[in-house]
Amino acid sequence: MALSSGGAGVIHRTAKDEAGDTEQASKNYDDARWMSWPNEGAFDALEEQYDSVHLQTKGSIPSWAAGSLFRTGPGHSMVENTSRGTHHVSHWFDGFAVTHRFDIVPPDSPGQGCSVVYSSRGQSDRYIAKVKEHGWRTGISFGQKSDPCVGIFAKFMSLFLPQEINNNVVVIPNMPGLNTKPTQQTGHRAEVDNVYISTDNSRLQKIDPETLEPLGPASQQELHPALKGPLSCAHVQRDPVTGDLFNFNVTMGRYASYRIFRVNAKSGTTDILATISEQELPAAYIHSFFLTENYVVLCVPSTHLGWNGAKILWERNILDAIKPFDKTTLCKWLVVDRRHGRGVVARFSTPAAFFFHSVNAFEQKSKDEAGEEITDICLDHVEYLNSDVMHILYYDILMGKNEAAILDMQKTGKQKASQPKLVRYKFTLPAHSQTKKGDYSLTAEQAFAIPSPHAGELPTINPSRAGQRHKYVYSICNRGIGFWMDAIVKTDVETREALIWSGPVGHTPGEPIFVPRPGGTDEDDGVILTVVLDSSSRTSYFLCLDAKTLQELGRAEADFTIPLALHGAHVTLGQKPML
């Protein structure tokens, strides 16, 4: 039953976008979004850490959604009382990591809804201590601006200081290979053997599933000695049947080497599925990749790193090490066999673009003109015209403090180039394996491109459809009434219709997480869980929506701010997750 209080959300049903025009935003999407900004509570943990806070529940969260929702993301954006005064974090992706846990507790009596218990923990205490000691960040960041008061010699010497990690992007519960010994848990909390936090490098942060306390770093090289490169992918992929985990590791040199690997969930052993090192495939910033029933598909987008990756050491951050965007630099794709040890079976290219997040990928069989069976690989992701979106995520812009930068974005059109599109490419596998190094002459067909706000960012689907054809994608979008994402959109990729939930002005939802109803047969039979920031009252609430209608079922309110996280994972009570 939907809530009827004044704080309940509003549902908007939109017609399909104008013929899927890939160059034009929807009619209700204009520059008005740049007139208002969320307050700093959206991006900074302004409150002290809380432990085991019982949130005030309204409505009814279904009992089958019981379990634990982990979320992680940037927290504090400044460090006070350092040896050089206050240290200000420049880029949102560099905010010091905080992990959140929402325990969804089943009711004592049938027919009642769940309650919600919240806890959180900072993950960068050691890093913050280093900043206080030295007065600046000594490690590699995503986009930290250089401190003009810090000399070249000091920056050079920081290369030799111990490098602390600030993993704040993805939560990986029950990761195989690094720790298979179960953690004892009791009471209402979901079963979790271990939890790791990742970002776009090969080092992981292990945390205690119960207390969220940081337990120290781990390295992909512990999985396999060949995985010694510094770069990797924040978003791992899992086989939805076996639980095997897939990722890639990048070493840098004259040519970059991409090693695509699998961690066996049952044995904990790691296999290298393919090693690709060729002049046409430089080191690049890559945030996610694709997994189908039989293949791992890696896209190297047009965000190449200078000096084949070595420029990161000079700039001390990834963003400044990325080459200026070049429209002639094609995206290059690799299709790797994950079943029969054949390595790379095909290469192809698509027009220059950038993307953070893959959505899903699947294979479909058909017949060619000669009646022979062919396999098409469909690859859904959230695409951008260029890499400008990474540059609008500086705190000064997010919080509306840098008027000059905001005016520059409006004048140069960067904000329009930073609007996402939900794009599907369809690639037909050649009849015989096409494995010639450096040959990316094959291309893929763009099946559709759905612009914002009919689709958005931080996408998710029903996890039971992973690797299979899907109909619905859930994401966060902007309807054009504020700077930041202000709504949750359910996109029908077959009809291109969209259903949008939005709260009152100033309510900012985070990534939607889909929890399927046990026994449900419809793809959208389940609930959407998210955390919403109310910037006017500086409070947050845990929100549960019906995944079919986006009507609100229940919420659990906090009387404090929970900063916007990046990604999360739901672990059902009594069941291990398949991400």
CB–CB of 518/460 below 8 Å? Answer: no
Is 186 a residue whose pLDDT tops 60? no
User: What's the pLDDT at 24?
Assistant: 39
User: What's the pLDDT at 332?
Assistant: 98
DSSP string, 380-430: EEEEESSSGGGGG-BHHHHTT--HHHHHHHHHHTHHHHT--EEEEEEEEPP
First vs last C-alpha separation in the chain: 29
d(CA 205, CA 125): 12
User: Could you tell me which residue, 229 or 185, shows the higher pLDDT?
Assistant: 229
DSSP designation for 563: P
User: What's the pLDDT at 49?
Assistant: 59
d(CA 315, CA 144): 9
The token pair that represents 247 in the structure block: 């990722």
Is 3 a residue whose pLDDT tops 80? no
Is 377 a residue whose pLDDT tops 50? yes
d(CA 106, CA 572): 11
pLDDT over 70 percentage in the chain: 85
Q: For the ranges 88-92, 130-134, 294-298, 404-408, which has the lowest average pLDDT?
A: 404-408
d(CA 66, CA 190): 8
d(CA 177, CA 155): 36
DSSP string, 176-234: TTT--SPPP--TTSPP-S-EEEE-SBSEEEEE-TTT--EEEEEEGGGT-TT---SEE-S
Q: Give 289-330 pLDDT, tens digit per residue.
A: 999 999 999 999 999 999 989 999 888 899 999 999 999 999
Looking from the CA of 143 toward its CB, the CA atoms found within 13 Å total 17
**Using 50, 70 and 90 to split pLDDT, how confident is the model at 479?**
confident
Residue list, annotated binding site for Fe cation: 235, 287, 357, 567
Residue list, annotated binding site: 235, 287, 357, 567
The token pair that represents 319 in the structure block: 């963003």
The token pair that represents 475 in the structure block: 């994401």
DSSP designation for 5: S
Q: Give 25-53 pLDDT, tens digit per residue.
A: 344 434 444 434 455 556 665 555 567 89
Mean pLDDT across 220-247? 96
Closest CA to 69 of 55, 48, 88: 55
Give CA angle at 66 (63, 70), nearest 5°.
Answer: 155
Q: Give 67-121 pLDDT, tens digit per residue.
A: 999 999 999 889 999 988 999 999 999 999 999 999 999 998 887 889 999 999 9
User: What's the pLDDT at 404?
Assistant: 83
**Using 50, 70 and 90 to split pLDDT, how confident is the model at 482?**
low
Phi-psi region of 569 (alpha: psi -120 to 50; beta: other; left: phi over 0): beta
Mean pLDDT across 183-196? 70
Would you say how long the chain is, in residues?
A: 579
Write phi, then psi, for 222 (nearest 5 degrees): -70, -20
d(CA 345, CA 237): 20
The token pair that represents 330 in the structure block: 């094609």
CA distances (Å), origin 202, targets 138, 400, 446? 18, 33, 32
